[in-house]
Amino acid sequence: MKTTNNGVLREMTAQEITEYDATIAEAQKQTDAQTARQVARQAVLDKLGLTADEAAALFGN
Partner 1 sequence: MGANASTAVPVYVSGQVLDAARLNLTNNGIPVFSGTATRDAAFGGSGEKTLAEGQFAYLEDTNSLQYYSGTSFVAASGSNLITSGSVTSGTTVSLDSIFSATYDNYYVIFSNIVQAGSTNVVQFRTGGVTNTTSNYSFARSYLDVSAMAFEAGSGGTTSIGLGSTTANVMNTWEMVISRPFATGETSGWFRQAAENTSIVSWFGFHLFKATTSFDGLIYTAGSTFTSASYAIYGLAN
Q: Interface residues with partner 1 (CB under 8 A)? A: 1-7, 9, 12, 16, 19-20, 22-24, 26-28, 30-31, 34, 37-38, 52, 56, 61
For 47, other C-beta atoms within 10 Å of its C-beta total 8
Residue whose CB is less far from partner 1, 37 or 43: 37
What region, left, alpha or beta, does residue 4 occupy, with left being phi > 0 and alpha being psi -120 to 50 degrees?
beta
Measured from the CB of residue 48, what is the shortest distance to partner 1 in angstroms? 18
Cα-based distances in Å from 39 to 8, 33, 56: 43, 10, 16
**Residue 27 vs 48, nearer CB to partner 1:** 27
